[in-house]
Chain A
Amino acid sequence: MSNVGIVIVSHSPLVAEGTADMVRQMVGDEVPLAWCGGNGHGGLGTSVEAIMGAIDKAWSEAGVAILVDLGGAETNSEMAVEMIGEPRSHKIVVCNAPIVEGAVMAATEASGGASLKEVVATAHELSPS
C-alpha cells in the first residue's frame, strides 16, 4: 500500500484497540494500521518490542506516523524507531498529538494519499504549541 501507515501506542491495550476501531470506521482499509498496548506482562505500559512489531505491521514505503498517549509511550516509541535504524527510521515519526483525535485525523489525511509530512502536520495541528 502506498498510503502512510498509522501506529497507535497506548499504555492500555483497550485504549489502543478502541482507537484503532475508530480509525477503521473512518478510513476502512485504506490505511495500513497497527496498534499495541500493555507492557507485555499483562499490565499497563508499553513495550519496545511490541512497538517495533506494530511498525512492521503498518509499514508503508510512504512512512509511518505513530500516535502515543503518556510519556513512556513516547520514550519507548522513539527507542523503537532508533532500534529499527536507518534507512527506515527516517520514514517514521512519533507525533505530538492527542492519541484518539490524532490517530483519526492522521489516518483520514493518510487515506487521501497525503505525504508523511502532511499526515504528521495534520496531527500536530491538534496540539497547542
Chain B
Amino acid sequence: MAASDFSRLIAAAADTIAAHAEELTALDQAIGDGDHGLNMQRGFEAVRAEADAFAAKSLPDALTAVGTKLVMTVGGASGPLFGTLFMALGRELPPAPDRAALTAALGKAIEAVSARGKSQPGQKTMLDVLQPVYEALAQGKAGTEIAEAADRAADATVPMKALRGRASFLGERSIGHMDAGARSTALLVRAVAETVEGF
C-alpha cells in the first residue's frame, strides 16, 4: 500500500468516527459508561495528527503504530481492544498483502482481541462484527458487501444480552440496544472498504 493510500485510510477512519461520535456516545450511554464516542474520537484524532509519519512506514509497522497510539489515547477498555486489533494486524500482515493474507491476518487479530477481552462472538461486543467480516472476506465478497455485512452484524447485537464489559452489569436490560463497540467496528470496516481500491 502506498503512503498516500494509508493516509487516506487514516483520514477516512478518523472522519467516520468523528461524524458518528455523538451516536456512539449515545449508544454507550444506554448500556455502558457513555464515553465511547469521545474516547474513540480522541484516539483517531491522535492517529490523524501523526498520519504522515505513520504512512511513511511499511504497512505492518504503520498498523502497529496506529494500534499503539490507540492504546495510549483512547482510554477505557476500547483502547486496548481496538489497539490490539491494529497491533495484531501489524504483526500478522506482510508488507503487500493479498486477500488471502488479509483474511488470515484478520483471523489472527480476532483471536488476539478475543484473548484481550476474554470474550467470544455472541456476547454483544466488537467481535460480533469482526467475525462476520472475516467470513465475508474469506468468501471473497466485494468491499460493499463486506461493509453491509458489518452493518448487519452491528444491528444484530441489538437483541443480544451483554456478557462482557460494563453493559454486562445490566444483564437483561442490555437487550434492545446496539453495542457501541460493534457499531464503531462496522464504521471502521466501511471506511476501509470504501477507501482501499479493489477491496
Contact = CB atoms under 8 A, between A and B. Distances in A.
A41 B116 contact: no
A40 B43 CA distance: 13
A50 to B, nearest CB: 10
Interface string A39-53: 111011111110000
A43 B116 contact: no
Given A71-B166, A76-B80, A78-B80, A46 B75 contact: yes
What is the size category of the interface that chain A forms with chain B? Answer: 10 to 19
B80 A48 contact: yes
Nearest to B115: A78
B30 interface: no
Contact of B71 (A40, A48, A70): A48
A75 interface: yes
B77 A72 contact: yes
B35 interface: yes
Contacts of B71: 48, 79, 83
Nearest to B81: A75
Contacts of B72: 47-49
Interface residues of B, number: 20
Interface in B88-127: 116-117
B103 to A, nearest CB: 25
A41 B76 contact: no
Contact of A71 (B83, B84, B165): B165
A41 to B, nearest CB: 7
Given A72-B76, A75-B80, A79-B84, A43 B35 contact: yes
Interface string A81-104: 001000000000000000000000
B37 interface: no
B42 A41 contact: yes
Q: Which of B39, B72, B83, B164 has the most CB of A within 10 A?
A: B72
Contacts of B165: 71
27 contacts: A39-B76, A41-B42, A45-B35, A45-B75, A45-B76, A46-B76, A48-B71, A48-B72, A48-B80, A70-B166, A71-B77, A71-B164, A71-B165, A71-B166, A72-B77, A72-B166, A75-B77, A75-B80, A75-B81, A75-B116, A75-B117, A76-B79, A78-B80, A79-B71, A79-B79, A79-B84, A83-B71
Given A39-B39, A43-B35, 12 more contacts: A39-B35, A39-B75, A40-B75, A44-B33, A48-B72, A48-B80, A72-B77, A75-B80, A76-B79, A78-B80, A79-B80, A79-B116
Interface of A: 39-41, 43-49, 70-72, 75-76, 78-79, 83
